[in-house]
Amino acid sequence: MTERDVVTVRGLRKNYGGRLVVENLDLDVAAGEVVGLIGANGAGKTTTVECIQGLRRPDAGTVRVLGLDPTRQAAALRPQVGSQLQSSALPDRLRVAEAIELFATRNARSGEELLRQFGLSERRRSAFASLSGGERQRLFLVLSLLNRPRLVILDELTQGLDPAARRDVWAAITQLRDAGTTILLVTHELDEAEALCDRVVAMRAGRVLDAGRPAELVARHAPWAVVRFGWTRDDVTDLAAALRALPGAREVSVAGGQVEVRGDRRVIAHAGAELVRRGEIPDDLRVELPDLEAALLTLLGVRADASPSTTRATAPTLIGVNR
Ligand SMILES: Nc1ncnc2c1ncn2[C@@H]1O[C@H](COP(=O)(O)OP(=O)(O)OP(=O)(O)O)[C@@H](O)[C@H]1O
């Protein structure tokens, strides 16, 4: 272990009533990194972070957080880890400022400053029950940061938030990331993981399927591209044949004046060159590239080599994949 290792998990195993839900899991989070755990429902993401937080005792393996064992050295670790759990809640009548007083230790940062930073100053006298979903999540972020933690654990932070509130919370996390805070994030929102995480760890059925930068996972598991454009000239059959022969082309379809070329990333350049060679660049020329969602669907064994719009339509499958 070095100074930079904040979380080190080796061979973690956890079962509930004899059912194995985390199996031989390794995970590393270095200082200043934002790492996302992604995967299907029931993959064991929450169980893993609960073991890291010392809320569950592993059946096997080692977990070290800032060099400490979270189950045996919980008291020493607690002040160094800020958590927002999936089921976070506060008493309805507790006011924002009172929650800050309640959670602040002697080492705490200024609550006022944090409320200002997360746009909650105006709500300091408001009762928890009167806060919107986005305000509640921002308050949980404030509370998780209050005692200057060296690691922040966030489990489905933006679940159920409207797009504007989600963006507010993203902006707050980006601020934390820029300030060098180490964050372990559990999320089903893959655009969120792509936007916020330095590295993601994809899990299924208690195991790590792959890990890396979001762009690396996309390049590894969803290495295709789709080029589309309208073409009304009468050389369309000849054009389609030329496109089919391009390096990297896998499938070319022509329907209703629309041409679609699917293939690996090389096809983008070659299709463009073919259009240039024919002296016409359609105004509606566009390239669609897969995202992290497509990569994860492939990893989970769900066919995802479709256009982003089709991929999105299959997204609910992701939720049911592991049930
Ligand atoms: N306390 C418990 N007792 C028994 N089984 C549990 C318990 N907590 C979780 N499980 C089961 O363990 C498996 C892993 O659950 P876990 O919550 O860790 O997965 P997850 O990846 O976080 O899922 P989700 O994305 O749905 O939150 C699931 O099948 C779940 O039903």
- Same domain? 95 vs 242: no
- Nearest-CA residue for ligand 1 atom 23 is 42
Distance 22 CA to ligand 1 centre (A): 10
- 48 Cα nearest atom in ligand 1: 18
Q: Kindly give the number of the ligand 1 atom that is closest to the alpha carbon of 37.
A: 21
CA 156 to chain centre: 9
**Residue 119 Cα, ligand 1 centroid: separation in angstroms?**
33
Residue 249 sits in the same domain as residue 127: no
Instruction: State the Cα–Cα distance between residues 205 and 22, nearest whole angstrom.
Output: 7
Does some domain include residue 294?
A: no
Q: What is the four-CA torsion angle of 192, 48, 318, 292, rounded to 10 degrees?
A: 40
Residue 298 falls inside a structural domain? no
Number of separate domains in the chain: 2
| pLDDT, average across residues 165-178 | 84
Q: Is the pLDDT of residue 312 over 50?
A: no
In total, the chain counts a number of residues equal to: 323
What pLDDT, on the 0 to 100 scale, is given for residue 305? 60
**Domain-located, residue 27:** yes
Residues 156 and 24 in one domain: yes
pLDDT higher than 50, residue 315: no
CATH (domain of 69): 3.40.50.300
**109 CA → ligand 1 middle, Å:** 34
C-alpha 307/C-alpha 293 separation (Å) is 12
The rounded distance, in Å, linking the Cα atoms of 259 and 268 is 13
Condensed to tens digits (0 to 9), the pLDDT of residues 111-130 reads 998 898 888 999 999 999 99
| Arithmetic mean of pLDDT, 73-97 | 85
Which residue in the block uniquely carries the two structure tokens 């995802």?
A: 304
DSSP H or E stretch at residue 198: none
Task: Compute the distance between CA of residue 254 and CA of residue 261 in angstroms, rounded to an integer.
Answer: 9
In a domain? residue 31: yes
Give the C-alpha separation, 122 to 115, whole Å.
9
Nearest residue CA, atom 9 of ligand 1? Answer: 47
In this structure, the number of other CB atoms found within 10 A of the CB of residue 142 comes to: 24
Mutate to test the pocket of ligand 1, among 20, 41, 86, 318 (most ligand atoms within 8 A of CB): 41
pLDDT averaged over the chain?
Answer: 88
Q: Which two tokens stand for residue 135?
A: 């305000």
- Dist. CA 3–CA 66, nearest whole Å: 8
Q: For position 86, what pLDDT does the model report?
A: 59
pLDDT of residue 129: 94
d(CA 114, CA 16) in angstroms, rounded, equals 38
Beta carbon of 205 within 6 Å of any ligand 1 atom: no
What is the rounded distance in angstroms from the CA atom of residue 58 to the CA atom of residue 115?
Answer: 36
- Judge if 202 and 259 occupy the same domain: no
- CB of 42 closer than 6 A to ligand 1? yes
Which residue among 13, 16, 19 has the greatest number of ligand 1 atoms within 8 angstroms of its CB, and so is best to mutate? 16
How confident is the model over 174-218, as pLDDT tens digits?
888 888 889 999 998 899 999 999 999 999 999 999 999 999 999
Shared domain for 210 and 261, answered yes or no, is no
Q: Give the least confident one: 15-19, 178-182, 305-309.
A: 305-309
d(CA 32, CA 52): 17
Determine if ligand 1 sits within 6 Å of the CB of residue 320: no
Same-domain check for residues 184 and 243: no
Confidence of residue 314 (pLDDT cuts 50, 70, 90): very low
Q: Is residue 195 included in any domain, yes or no?
A: yes
The type of residue at 234 is D
Residues 148 and 196 in one domain: yes
Confidence tier at 322 by pLDDT (50, 70, 90): very low
Residue 234 lies in a domain: yes
Q: In what order do the strands lie in the sheet with 81-84?
A: 81-84, 151-155, 182-186, 34-39, 199-204, 207-212
Same domain, 213 and 240: no
In terms of average pLDDT, the best of 101-115, 145-159, 275-289 is: 275-289
Order of all β-strands in the sheet with 286-288: 249-255, 258-264, 224-230, 286-288
Other beta carbons within 10 Å of 136:
19
Say whether both 233 and 203 belong to one domain.
Answer: no
User: Is residue 16 in contact with ligand 1, taking CB distance under 6 Å?
Assistant: yes
Predicted confidence (pLDDT) at residue 245 exceeds the cutoff of 80: yes
* The residue type at 4: R
* pTM listed for this prediction: 0.83
**Using a 6 Å cutoff on CB, does residue 47 contact ligand 1?**
yes
The boundaries of the domain holding residue 16 are: 5-219
Domain assignment of residue 170, yes or no = yes
Greatest mean pLDDT range, 84-98, 153-167, 187-201, 290-304: 187-201
Q: How many CB atoms lie within 10 A of CB 256?
A: 5
**In a domain? residue 299:** no
The pLDDT of residue 32 is: 93
Cα 47 to averaged position of ligand 1 atoms, centre (Å): 6
Do 202 and 268 belong together in one domain? Answer: no
* Largest interatomic CA distance in the chain: 77
Based on the domain organization, do 271 and 190 belong to the same domain? no
DSSP characters over 83-118:
EE-TT----TT-BHHHHHHHH--TTPPPHHHHHHHT
CB 291: neighbour CB atoms within 10 A? 18
Q: Residue 275's pLDDT is what? A: 97
Q: How far is the CA of 9 from the centre of ligand 1 (A)?
A: 19
Tell whether ligand 1 has an atom less than 6 A from the beta carbon of residue 319. Answer: no
Q: Which residues pair with 115 in a beta bridge?
A: none
Domain boundary among 202, 219, 236: 219
Task: Give the pLDDT confidence score for residue 170 in this predicted structure.
Answer: 87
Angle between helices 292-299 and 214-221 (to 10 degrees): 60
- Asked whether 259 and 229 are in contact (CB, 8 A), the reply is yes
Which residue, 219, 245, 269, sits at the end of a domain? 219
Based on the fold, state whether residues 160 and 264 are members of the same structural domain.
Answer: no
CATH code of the domain in which 276 resides: 3.30.70
Could you identify the residue written with the tokens 């800032």? 66
Confirm or reject: Cβ of 43 under 6 Å from ligand 1: yes
Q: How far is the CA of 232 from the centre of ligand 1 (A)?
A: 54
